[in-house]
Amino acid sequence: MNAINTIPVTVLTGYLGSGKTTLLNRILTEDHGKRYAVIVNEFGDVGIDNDLVVDADEEVFEMNNGCICCTVRGDLIRIIDSLLKRRNRFDAILVETTGLADPAPVAQTFFVDEDVRSKTTLDAIVTVVDARHLLGEIEKAHEAQEQLAFADIILINKIDLVSEQELAKVEARIRRINPTAVLSRSERCQVPLDQVIGRNAFDLDRVLELEPDFLEHFHDHEHDDHVTSFSLTSNEPLLPERFFPWIQSVAQHFGIDMLRMKGIIAFEADDDRYVMQGVHMLLEGNHQRPWKPEEARLTRIVFIGRDLPRDIIENGFRKCIAGEEGRLG
Amino acid sequence: MKSFVNPLAPRTNRLQVKSTEIRAWVRHLVDLPEDTPVSVVELACRDEGCPDIETVIGIMEANKPIRTIRVHMALAEVTRNAIAEAVHGDSRPRLDSAR
């Protein structure tokens, strides 16, 4: 799903006080051989004066009557348009969001605007969390849960302020919300930068090339969170003529609450793995590579969202399985 | 063997050429400076009451709210006349300031 010669974009999120700006300043000041253009929400917090550091004003562009799935960030489109006129001066773009920002319009900007989409590639959504305060904040702060839900990479920061036992609880709590993100630990954001930037972690195709079992280390959790996750699996192949109308119907009915979705599909009479992912109503999928002879042709889809009705979604999914009787849900 | 049409296939850059063309038409029709960002988006909003597919064009002049032009057709099918009608049509219904 990656285009050649596009500019990689890393989106940096994190709840208030997580250490996000510390990480940003490290990326800007350390000698790692890459030049970044940076879109920040507060000029004053960034310890560098550079005309490639640009202030964002969180201008929301609602293209369709407030539907979150059709909402992008107008300021990002304006800024990226301007930056791309100087594209020989930087190698990648970093977007820092405010502590309370909704990551969805930021992510969607890189998929729906034709010009931005064709010239940039979303490298990863990186979320920084404060290991000491996460458990206390997360029940009350829906923004914090959603920033975790959207993340491809989660940097658990300030680990020096908690015990190993507390850290295990923090990681378990994060996993309940986002079972697929890569977790890293740090003190004062001192993590090797190649663990958070240039990872191509948004691209599920690429992730599965490096880690074929990526979606398999997943266990369902029963809990009362605002944001929840669950997976659906099948050892039997799916019928494309049932599957595509069903998954599009899921996006239609539950897209507003479906934050991320990732899946590997085994279709009947199809020798290739089909890989798909979604952000709200935006769905994208393609054949990846042939199934290996020794590989189990297992379908697995992971949904991360707000109060998604698992029973309804699962019921529809079962009807897509070859040999299953019934009409589309 | 891939025996089905993939409705979720990633869009190709074929649309980039078309969107560049659309931006040029809009700049001419609305008399915009060359450096004004114009966003071209094909929307397939599945909300009830929304058209199945439409092209939304955002005009992003400096220090002004985003203005939108809506053309109720797929991006690949948008014509200069369709944009002109949306901008200058009798009812002038579709050139609004976005919220």
Q: With helix as H, strand as E and coil as C, how does chain B read?
A: CCCCCCCCCCCCCHHHHHHHHHHHHHHHHHCCCCCCCEEEEEECCCCCCCCCCEEEEEECCCCCCCEEEEECCCHHHCCHHHHHHHHHCCCCCCEEECC
Is B39's CB within 8 Å of A276's CB? Answer: no
Position A147, amino acid: Q
- B83 lies in some domain: yes
Q: pLDDT (tens digit, 9 = 90+) per residue, A263-311? A: 999 999 999 999 999 998 889 999 989 999 998 999 999 999 998 999 9
Model pLDDT, residue A311: 95
| Structure tokens that stand for B7 in this block | 């409705």
Residue range A7-202, CATH number: 3.40.50.300
Q: Is residue B44 part of a domain?
A: yes
Report the residue from A62, A244, A276 with minimal CB separation from B99. Answer: A62
Average the pLDDT over A314-329 and give the result: 77
Segment A161-177 mean pLDDT: 94
| Domain-located, residue B31 | no
- A70, B16: Cβ pair inside 8 Å? no
Residue A219 has pLDDT above 70, yes or no: no
Domain limits, chain A: 7-202, 210-318
Task: Tell me the C-alpha distance between A59 and A57, whole Å.
Answer: 6
Q: Which residues in chain B have their CB less than 8 angstroms from residue A289's CB?
A: none
The H or E element spanning position A111 is: helix A103-112
In terms of Cα–Cα distance, which of A50, A70, A52 is closest to A60? A70
Q: How far apart are the first and last CA of chain B?
A: 47
The pTM of this model reads: 0.84
Picking from B8, B2, B11, the residue whose alpha carbon sits closest to that of residue A291 is B2
With the C-alpha atoms ordered A301, A304, A308, A309, is the resulting torsion angle positive or negative? positive
Structure tokens at A94: 């970093």
Residue A112: what pLDDT?
Answer: 85
Q: Sign of torsion, CA B30 B54 B13 A116?
A: positive
Band the pLDDT of B48: cuts 50, 70, 90: low
B42: containing domain: 36-97
Query: Are the beta carbons of A281 and B15 separated by less than 8 Å?
Result: no
Tokens representing A215 are: 């979606």
Domain A210-318, what fold?
Answer: Hypothetical Protein Yjia; Chain: A;domain 2 (3.30.1220)
CA–CA gap between residue B11 and residue B14 (Å, rounded): 8
A153 pLDDT tier (thresholds 50, 70, 90) = very high
In this chain, the answer to whether the domains covering A7-202 and A210-318 adopt an identical fold is no
Q: Which residues of B20-50 are buried (b: 16+ CB within 10 A; e: fewer)?
A: eebbebbbeebebeeebbbbbbbbbbbeeee
Contacts of A2 in chain B (CB under 8 A): none
CB contact under 8 A, B3 and A286: no
- Indicate whether A183 pLDDT > 80: yes
Is B16 a domain residue? no
Domain count, chain B: 1
Interface test with A, best of B20, B32, B46, B63 (most A CBs within 10 A): B46
Residues facing A238 on adjacent strands: A267, A321
For the record, the structure tokens of A24 come out as 């940003």
A53-71 mean pLDDT = 82
- Judged against a pLDDT cut of 50, whether residue B59 lies above it is answered with yes
A220 pLDDT more than 70: no
A45: DSSP letter: G
Regarding an ipTM greater than 0.85, the answer is: no
- Do residues A42 and A58 lie in contact, with contact meaning Cβ atoms separated by under 8 Å? no
| Partner B contacted by A322 (CB < 8 A) | no
